[in-house]
Amino acid sequence: MSTTSGGGAPARGSAVRAWGRALLGGAVMAGALGAGNALGEALARTVGAEGYLRQLVPAVLVSTLAVPLVLLWWAGRPARLRPLGLGPLSSAPRAFLRGVAVTGSCAVVVLGAGTALGWVRWSEPDPAALVTFLARNAVVAVLLEALPEETTLRGHAWASLRDRFGGVLSALGTTAVFLLVPAASTVVQAGVSRAVGGAAPPMGLAPGGQDPVAYLVLLGVFGLTLVAARTAPGPAPLWTAIGTHVAFLSVNRVLFEGAARGAGWSAEAGPAHAAVLDLGYLAVTATVFVGARVMSSRGRGRIQRRPTGVPEIPDIER
């Protein structure tokens, strides 16, 4: 597999440097997530922020700490050597909505099948509360998780590995770095919280109350799905991954935490069924993105093999 978005052989740089740069992206994200949450909580306490504003403050800090560092790292390089995938700003909204639409549609199909099988029981929806929750959650999800994680990991870490390795190893490597971030961020958050006089949260591989193995399996599948979104055809593919990230968080927060979060809609499912549905719609989402990339690659291959002088076939006949 080629390593650049335009095809060609991998750049034969140092493998150690490639892994070092990828891990640096993970370290930036872990540091920003841990420090941003700790400092955001301290700042919210200081100014007396409550409710939604208390969620928004650390989210803004995380993006502020992580994203500019990555952009500065790549800023001095020629455009062809800056493959973060952010693309032109004008393409960002469409790419973002592509990620949301594909992921949301796959979730509807899989969860609809689960509901038909009796695996999921839904509460009575409150449309106004649901729309409000989704809009507010999307802002926090973009700033706290989707934008900084995609920029540091599927942007910086992926591009660093892709400069040296093939696509499969780069995907697995980026996902491995992704799996390290949550645990590392808890260490940073505990240290910064103590430094600013706050209560240090528990450190661990998974959020409190979750089985670490199940959490890491879900995170691994999610990470590979995000790589599939990041490498899907189209301009600004990193924004497609950001849209996929936000859609996943939104669906899961309604599905599994809707009642606790006041989302206006919630569901009940047994642990085994919930895991199957969660992993299932991620797998379908990844399959759609990979399928789109394969079809796009085959289309480009047919065009490149066409003899000189043979007219191009109109799009409607392809």
pLDDT in tens, 270-284: 999 999 999 999 999
Specify the range with the lowest mean pLDDT, choosing from 15-19, 88-92, 208-212, 245-249.
Answer: 208-212
pLDDT at 43 over 90: yes
**Band of the pLDDT at 4, cuts 50, 70, 90?**
very low
237-261 and 271-305 are packed helices; what angle lies between their axes, rounded to 10 degrees?
A: 170
Query: Is 232 within 8 Å of 119 (Cβ atoms)?
Result: no
Residue 292 inside a domain? The answer is: yes
Residue 311 inside a domain? The answer is: no
Residue 97 inside a domain? The answer is: yes
Residue 315 inside a domain? The answer is: no
Residue 312 inside a domain? The answer is: no
CA nearest neighbour of 73 among 146, 162, 155, 15: 155
pLDDT at 315 over 60: no
Residue 290 inside a domain? The answer is: yes
Q: What is the largest CA-CA distance in the chain?
A: 73
CA nearest neighbour of 238 among 100, 66, 95: 95
Domain assignment of residue 138, given as a range? 15-306
**Band of the pLDDT at 202, cuts 50, 70, 90?**
confident
Residue 155 has which token pair? 């942007």
Q: Residue with structure tokens 């949260």?
A: 201
The CA distance from 272 to 290, in Å, is 27
CA Rg, the chain, in Å? 21
Tell me the pLDDT tens digit for each residue of 102-127.
999 999 999 999 999 999 999 999 99
Residue 22 inside a domain? The answer is: yes
Q: Looking at the 3D structure of the chain, how many domains does it have?
A: 1
Residue 115 inside a domain? The answer is: yes
pLDDT at 244 over 50: yes
